[in-house]
Amino acid sequence: MMASFMSYFGARRDPKQSARDAIVTLRQQLQMIEKKEEHLQKKIEEELKKAKANAVSNKAVATAALKRKKASEAELDRLAGTRLQLEMQVNTLESANLNAETMAAMKKGADALKVIHGNMTIDKVDAIMNQVNDQRALADEVADVISNPTYSGLEIDDDELKAELDELEQDELNERLAGAEPVPLQQPPQFNRQATVEEDDEAQELEKLKASLAM
């Protein structure tokens, strides 16, 4: 009895599916109207040709053709209005369906965020972040202690280090000096006594030549 009652009044359907079914039905109706418009357009063209062909020879036939043409044009106008209404309804349904799907997706996202956050509150987050910061500070202090040479048990004397460095520097200079080539001493220039004597003789002969020419 309950089954017959539900079948009589119709079971509650999915709104998304109902919207899709309505859109499909409207589009099918639009296709039928478009085919009807094509048929009427051809009929109008045929009646116009018939009226032109009989305009002189048979005015009665031409007049009847024009009347049928006018009737077809009027029906074509009515179909155009109907098609416009159906197209607007399709657009409205598609927009409403898109909005519904968008809202459903947003609701799922909100539910997922709610599950992810769980019992999380701002106070709990602040407490956790404080713990994290405390542990990070503790880790930094431990790292500083480990890396500090004071805690390694090794005492270093700065004066001793400086003395050892000066000694190494002096050793390096001594090795460089030992490996350098000796610089030759510059000898004073030697005068050629024989060349000087020859130059004096040539000067004396030149003076004698000048004296003889003057006589």
The pLDDT value recorded for residue 196 is 61
Is the Cα torsion angle 50, 53, 55, 58 positive or negative in sign? Answer: negative
The pLDDT value recorded for residue 157 is 72
Nearest in space to 66 (alpha carbons), one of 45, 41, 40, 39: 45
The pLDDT value recorded for residue 153 is 56
- What domains can be seen in the chain, in order of their start residue? 15-112 (1.10.287.1060)
Per residue in 95-119, pLDDT (tens digit) is 988 888 899 899 999 999 888 888 8
Low-confidence ranges of the chain (pLDDT < 70): 1-13, 148-156, 180-199, 203, 206, 208-215
The pLDDT value recorded for residue 164 is 80
The pLDDT value recorded for residue 27 is 92
Q: What are the percentages of helix, strand and coil residues in the chain, rounded to 5?
A: 85, 0, 15
Nearest in space to 104 (alpha carbons), one of 12, 184, 16: 16
The pLDDT value recorded for residue 167 is 83
The pLDDT value recorded for residue 55 is 86
3-state secondary structure of 162: helix
- For residue 102, what are the CA distances in angstroms to 13, 88, 112? 19, 21, 15
The pLDDT value recorded for residue 198 is 66
The pLDDT value recorded for residue 50 is 87
Is the Cα torsion angle 6, 9, 10, 15 positive or negative in sign? Answer: negative
Residue with tokens 């539910």: 111
3-state secondary structure of 138: helix
